[in-house]
Amino acid sequence: MSDLRGRTSASREGAAGRAPNRWRALAACLVAGFMTLLDVSIVNVALPSMQSGLHAGPADVSWVRAGYTLTFGLVLIPGGKLGDAAGRKRMFLAGVAMFTAVSALCAVSPDPSWLVVARLLQGVAGGLLNPQIIGLIQYLFGGPERGRAFGLYGATVAIATAVGPLVGGLLIAAGGWRWVFLVNVPIGLLALGLGVRLLPATPARRHGDGVDVVGVVLLGGAASPRSCFP
């Protein structure tokens, strides 16, 4: 038991040694986490403007609102496995890049169908990104520092969820509903630059179990907005 504890402590110290700027690296994680969690609530205040601007129906609005959280939740576990297999930093950067690009696609949507598809892809990117944030915090920090880092992440989640409607209302008043998505572009570029510069490369770990694609598809069908909003 003491030998196991020693190895665990050494592993944590080694991770900290590989990332002397770990608190700055955490900033990259928090910026990305803030962006993805902001989109859970920021869109709600923009739904009436989207509906009138794109002549969307009630079903379209339901998909825009709930489709993001649906695909976000479905991809969390497969996203974690991909991070294990390919490395946390690599998948973090991929998730941020995808989220930023798809947010821009949401902003230029010419019709409801385009927006729904882009919104679903945005949820996929968010679900891919957030397990990497959790994994990077676990890799970068140990002991009491890990608790503080997760506390900062939890505070970021709470703040993003709370200020979403306020930020959304201000953006709509200033430039229209498309800015609800365009605001993610500079935030995403900032997170991408910080991630490239500050995040350490994490080792890839191969697992015997693959992603349960059939299970994910069945769960997605059962929990779709069409099921929730008849």
pLDDT, position 19: 66
pLDDT digits (tens, 9 = 90+) for 118-166: 999 999 999 999 999 999 999 999 999 999 999 999 999 999 999 999 9
Whether the pTM exceeds 0.85: the reply is no
Whether residue 57 is predicted with pLDDT greater than 50 in this model: the reply is yes
The fraction of the chain above a pLDDT of 70, given in percent, is: 81
Give the pLDDT score at 204: 78
Name the average pLDDT for the chain: 85
State what percent of residues in the chain have pLDDT above 90. 77
Domain layout of the chain by residue ranges: 21-228
Could you read off the pLDDT of 160-211 as tens digits, one per residue?
999 999 999 999 999 999 999 999 999 999 999 999 999 998 877 765 555 4
Confidence check: pLDDT of 24 > 70? yes
Assigned token pair, 132: 């990497």
DSSP string computed for 94-140: HHHHHHHHHHHHHHT-SSHHHHHHHHHHHHHHHHHHHHHHHHHHHHH
Answer yes or no: is pLDDT of 217 > 80. no
Does the pLDDT at position 213 exceed 60?
no
Domain 21-228 CATH superfamily: MFS general substrate transporter like domains (1.20.1250.20)
Label residue 7 by pLDDT band (50, 70, 90): very low
More confident residue, 202 or 216: 202
